[in-house]
Amino acid sequence: MANITKKVSWSSRGDEPAPAGEGTPLLNGAGGAARSYSRQFSGSGIFQIGRLSTVDLEEDPAPEESAISRPKEIPHNEKLLSLKYESLDYDNSENQLFLEEERRMSYMGFRCLEISRWVVCALIGILTGLIACFIDIVVENLAGLKYKVIKENIEKFTEAGGLSISLILWAFLNSVIVMMGAIIVAFFEPIAAGSGIPQIKCYLNGVKIPRVVRLKTLVVKVCGVICSVAGGLAVGKVGELLHHALSNGLMSSLVDVGSLTPLSQQIFEYFRRDTEKRDFVSAGAAAGVSAAFGAPVGGVLFSLEEGASFWNQMLTWRIFFASMISTFTLNFFLSIYHNKTGELSNPGLINFGRFDSDSVEYNLYEIPLFICMGALGGLLGALFNVLNYWLTIFRIRYIHRPCLQVMEAMLVAAVTATVSFAMIYFSDDCQPLGEDQAENYPLQLFCADGEYNSMATAFFNTPERSVRSLFHNPPGSYNPPTLGVFTLTYFFLACWTYGLTVSAGVFIPSLLIGAAWGRLFGIMLAHITPYGSYHDTSKHSPPSSGGIVRMTLSLTVILVEATGNVTYGFPIMLVLMTAKIVGDYFVEGLYDIHIKLQSVPFLHWEAPATSHALTAREVMSSPVTCFNRVEKVGTIVDVLSNTSTNHNGFPVVTRVMDDDEPGKICGLILRSQLIVLLKHKVFVERTRSRLNQRKLQLKDFRDAYPRFPPIQSIHVSQDERECMMDLTEFMNPTPYTVTQETSLPRVFKLFRALGLRHLVVVDSENRVVGLVTRKDLARYHLGKHGLEELQLAQT
């Protein structure tokens, strides 16, 4: 269990080292680093933070005592956060190069730049719609072909006997299709596994997830989700996972690859930085949700919930523009595919159909029933999350090899087919096949002529079509035992499926579970109450999804837009809020659980409630590795080459005569900037002797983005080590700073609202005494309960 974090890596397989420039940990307080060649300062009453580690799970850390006692609810543990995650540089480094470029740009230049942003957002929306259309067509045709073959086989052997052959055929087809999807994910791009929501939440939160913004991830994600849905797993077609694949994959192609041609260089060159890229990822996330559900406003609100701290009015409009373009593109091309060119009646991949106004009425006395259903949904969601949590722990410990992950996915596919066949086989719920039924693959089995097996409507179908049938089939289409057995069975199948090494989401399965037991709830109410009909499942579908994923605002709008009815906006919101409150009382949301298990330094909206007694002194890392304005090249190379530290930010201080005295802050410089300077040999001596052909520009830093070369690839001769490097022109002269006595909640708000990566802590005389990073805050935010829970999971 020494490398448990690598085994569950989002970014790569367990035996793969993190790529250069991506796996550099965000650490700033390694004790003993650069003792002989760098300035290190330690303020009074400051405990020293050693190297973070997530690989040593056998020993408990022995934290040193601090001058100010800290509440027990917020323990400081150093071994809970992964080394491979670093923060995004969302805060621009306003050095001299940046300011000179901004001052040279004319008013028309800024207008053209803003137009280019709109162009990129439009391209994101168009490509999102096109790929969503491709997924929809391929899934429907592939799944339709599979169900048609199985249906013909079942009908053939129903009278002649030998239905076991049909079962074997169903399990075989499911296993083969799922195997193909699992192989490309497990062996080629493990980051494409799952729904993608945890990764996109982390990215918008300011954490750089390795390999998440790649075109390869997009390709594997699209192929994987097609195989997962067509293979009959209890997953959604695209749902929430679509926006992850599209936003990240398209950002890779539009920004990173986009600089390969002269024309695209003019459009995309300025966008090769984390600030612009994160904005485009927000637009991609909203466009993906919009294409998946036909909910452009819901997509915008989803991005708003995860990254509202860095939004502005113009960015909001661009994101909404990308969402609308995505929906329009999908509608247009689906209309062509359905031979109804110009008829824009396909708002999204997951369309729940339209509801008549008479069927969606509700009365005041039903509101307490909605609250009760929300509470029950929260309990079911909490149970789902707990079961999935322990399944994930089991996978971490025992199913970490790619071949085992593929075998598990095939096993789940075969078991799903077997259980579905058994439920259909033993069900005696036969319903007349009338004109108002819209069953795609009706199975007669042992029913009389002109009837179909009702259980097959739920199991022998894609999850999206099953949800639609539960929404719209007329009263009496399902018997209570059928709904009860289906709900229980599908609940455990969905719980087992989520977390497999396949591209799959949990939103549609949770909605299907809610629709099934919601319809059962309505049937029961119709028998025990004198009030009207409760068969309309639009009243009862959200609780399970809200209890599992804990989304409130965006999910409410998504469901309202997907169903095309605003009448139930308030009941849906009430149900989701109740489900979230009840579920949060027992356990976190499913996405938050998986984020924590990955040891990601995720920052929530607020600091811990018990953190007001803490100050920056207790949170910061110290001593700090600093550089002088004019520093020796050999010193810089040695600091960057020290594998025990891997710092990413270095305060620049004024030179002092006494090595034991802290220097006053005058700037901050990043590891990536120093590597570019070393690569281009920007030394004082070469500048004076005019050996440098040209002055370094901001374009040189953008060209190296985002995969900056490792320090080991930079050759520095012995003579060059004696040269000096002037950092004045390249450092950020105005970094954010706080004093030692700044409260933790205030530090937390600065980090979360401004998207900071480093926050320098100074004393009353502006001397550097510490540095606060995202990981420093994330460790404290775990709290006592979270610490014990995560330690239990890792051991």
Residue 86 lies in a domain: no
Q: How far apart are CA 704 and CA 706, in angstroms?
A: 6
Residue 276 lies in a domain: yes
In the prediction, which pLDDT does 514 show? 85
Rg of the chain on CA atoms, in Å: 28
Percent over 70 (pLDDT), the chain: 77
In the prediction, which pLDDT does 391 show? 93
**pLDDT surpasses 60 at 63:** no
What letter represents residue 40's amino acid?
A: Q
pLDDT digits (tens, 9 = 90+) for 517-568: 888 888 887 777 655 445 444 455 556 777 888 888 888 888 888 777 787 7
Question: Residue 456: pLDDT band by 50, 70, 90 thresholds?
Answer: confident
pLDDT digits (tens, 9 = 90+) for 96-131: 888 988 888 888 988 988 998 898 889 888 988 888
The residue-averaged pLDDT of 729-755 equals 90
**pLDDT surpasses 70 at 740:** yes
Among the residue ranges 489-503, 534-548, 587-601, 732-746, the one predicted with the least confidence is: 534-548
**pLDDT surpasses 90 at 187:** yes
pLDDT digits (tens, 9 = 90+) for 303-343: 877 665 566 788 888 989 998 998 899 889 988 888 888 77
**pLDDT surpasses 90 at 497:** yes
**Both 384 and 494 in a single domain?**
yes
**Both 294 and 416 in a single domain?**
no
- Asked if 470 contacts 490 with a C-beta cutoff of 8 angstroms, the reply is no
Burial (Cβ within 10 Å: 0-12, 13-18, ≥19) of residue 719: exposed
The residue-averaged pLDDT of 162-173 equals 90
**Both 9 and 143 in a single domain?**
no
- Asked if 724 contacts 633 with a C-beta cutoff of 8 angstroms, the reply is yes
**pLDDT surpasses 90 at 610:** no
Question: Residue 354: pLDDT band by 50, 70, 90 thresholds?
Answer: low
Q: By three-state DSSP, how is residue 630 classified?
A: strand
Residue 31 lies in a domain: no
Domain of 765? 3-16+605-793
Say what angle helices 296-307 and 313-337 make with each other, to 10 degrees: 140
Q: What is the dihedral of CA 473, 230, 387, 513, to 10 degrees?
A: -10
Q: What is the CATH number of the domain that holds 541?
A: 1.10.3080.10
Residue 50 lies in a domain: no
Question: Residue 413: pLDDT band by 50, 70, 90 thresholds?
Answer: very high
In the prediction, which pLDDT does 385 show? 93
pLDDT digits (tens, 9 = 90+) for 355-379: 665 556 777 878 888 888 889 989 9
Q: Closest Cα to residue 246, out of 235, 237, 238? A: 238
The residue-averaged pLDDT of 494-508 equals 89
Q: How far apart are CA 507 and CA 323, in angstroms?
A: 20
Q: Closest Cα to residue 582, out of 630, 546, 614, 632? A: 546
* DSSP H or E stretch at residue 145: helix 107-160
**pLDDT surpasses 80 at 485:** yes
**pLDDT surpasses 90 at 445:** no
**Both 503 and 613 in a single domain?**
no
**Both 454 and 545 in a single domain?**
yes
Q: What is the number of other CB atoms lying within 10 angstroms of the CB of residue 569? A: 13
Residue 83 lies in a domain: no
Q: What is the number of other CB atoms lying within 10 angstroms of the CB of residue 384? A: 26
Q: Closest Cα to residue 53, out of 19, 7, 2? A: 2
**pLDDT surpasses 90 at 244:** no
- Tokens standing for 3? 């490398």
Q: How far apart are CA 118 and CA 121, in angstroms?
A: 5
The answer to whether the Cα torsion of 159, 165, 168, 173 is positive or negative is negative
In the prediction, which pLDDT does 535 show? 46
Q: How far apart are CA 277 and CA 408, in angstroms?
A: 36
761 strand-pairing partners = 738, 770
Residue 269 lies in a domain: yes
**pLDDT surpasses 50 at 649:** yes
- Asked if 380 contacts 547 with a C-beta cutoff of 8 angstroms, the reply is yes
**Both 482 and 593 in a single domain?**
yes
**pLDDT surpasses 50 at 38:** no
The residue-averaged pLDDT of 466-478 equals 80
- Asked if 28 contacts 649 with a C-beta cutoff of 8 angstroms, the reply is yes
In the prediction, which pLDDT does 429 show? 80
Among the residue ranges 480-494, 590-604, 680-694, the one predicted with the least confidence is: 680-694
**Both 305 and 452 in a single domain?**
no
In the prediction, which pLDDT does 265 show? 57
Among the residue ranges 267-276, 455-464, 613-622, the one predicted with the least confidence is: 267-276
pTM: 0.83
The residue-averaged pLDDT of 243-272 equals 57
**Both 426 and 402 in a single domain?**
yes
Among the residue ranges 114-123, 448-457, 634-643, the one predicted with the least confidence is: 448-457
In the prediction, which pLDDT does 355 show? 65
The residue-averaged pLDDT of 194-212 equals 84
C-alpha angle 554-556-558 in degrees, rounded to nearest 5: 65
Residue 43 lies in a domain: no
In the prediction, which pLDDT does 178 show? 95
Among the residue ranges 44-48, 279-283, 322-326, 725-729, the one predicted with the least confidence is: 44-48
Q: What is the largest CA-CA distance in the chain?
A: 98
Q: Using the 3D structure, point to which of 290, 309, 337 is the last residue of a domain.
A: 337
* List of long-range contacts for 384-387, beta carbons under 8 Å, 24+ apart: 384/491, 384/494, 384/495, 384/510, 384/544, 384/547, 384/548, 384/590, 385/548, 385/583, 385/587, 385/588, 385/589, 385/590, 385/593, 386/586, 386/587, 387/492, 387/495
pLDDT digits (tens, 9 = 90+) for 765-780: 899 999 998 888 887 7
Q: What is the number of other CB atoms lying within 10 angstroms of the CB of residue 734? A: 12
**Number of domains making up the chain:** 3
Question: Residue 93: pLDDT band by 50, 70, 90 thresholds?
Answer: confident
Question: Residue 242: pLDDT band by 50, 70, 90 thresholds?
Answer: low
- Asked if 241 contacts 516 with a C-beta cutoff of 8 angstroms, the reply is no
Residue 44 lies in a domain: no
How do strand 737-739 and strand 758-762 relate by DSSP bridges?
parallel
Q: By three-state DSSP, how is residue 48 classified?
A: coil
- Tokens standing for 233? 């797993």
Output the average pLDDT for the chain. 78
What letter represents residue 390's amino acid?
A: W
Q: What is the CATH number of the domain that holds 669?
A: 3.10.580.10
**Both 478 and 376 in a single domain?**
yes
Q: Using the 3D structure, point to which of 538, 567, 597 is the last residue of a domain.
A: 597
**Both 394 and 429 in a single domain?**
yes
Q: By three-state DSSP, how is residue 689 classified?
A: coil
pLDDT digits (tens, 9 = 90+) for 654-672: 876 666 677 889 999 999 9
Q: Using the 3D structure, point to which of 568, 597, 626 is the last residue of a domain.
A: 597
- Tokens standing for 577? 């809020």
Highest-confidence segment of 55-69, 99-113, 643-657: 99-113
Burial (Cβ within 10 Å: 0-12, 13-18, ≥19) of residue 678: buried
Q: What is the number of other CB atoms lying within 10 angstroms of the CB of residue 663? A: 22
Question: In sequence order, which residues have a C-beta less than 8 Å from that of residue 323 and are 6 or more positions away?
Answer: 125, 283, 286, 287, 289, 290, 296, 297, 299, 300
Bond into 745 cis (ω within 30): no
**Both 399 and 502 in a single domain?**
yes
**Both 303 and 390 in a single domain?**
no
Ramachandran quadrant class, 498 (left: phi over 0; alpha: psi -120 to 50; beta: rest): beta
In the prediction, which pLDDT does 537 show? 47
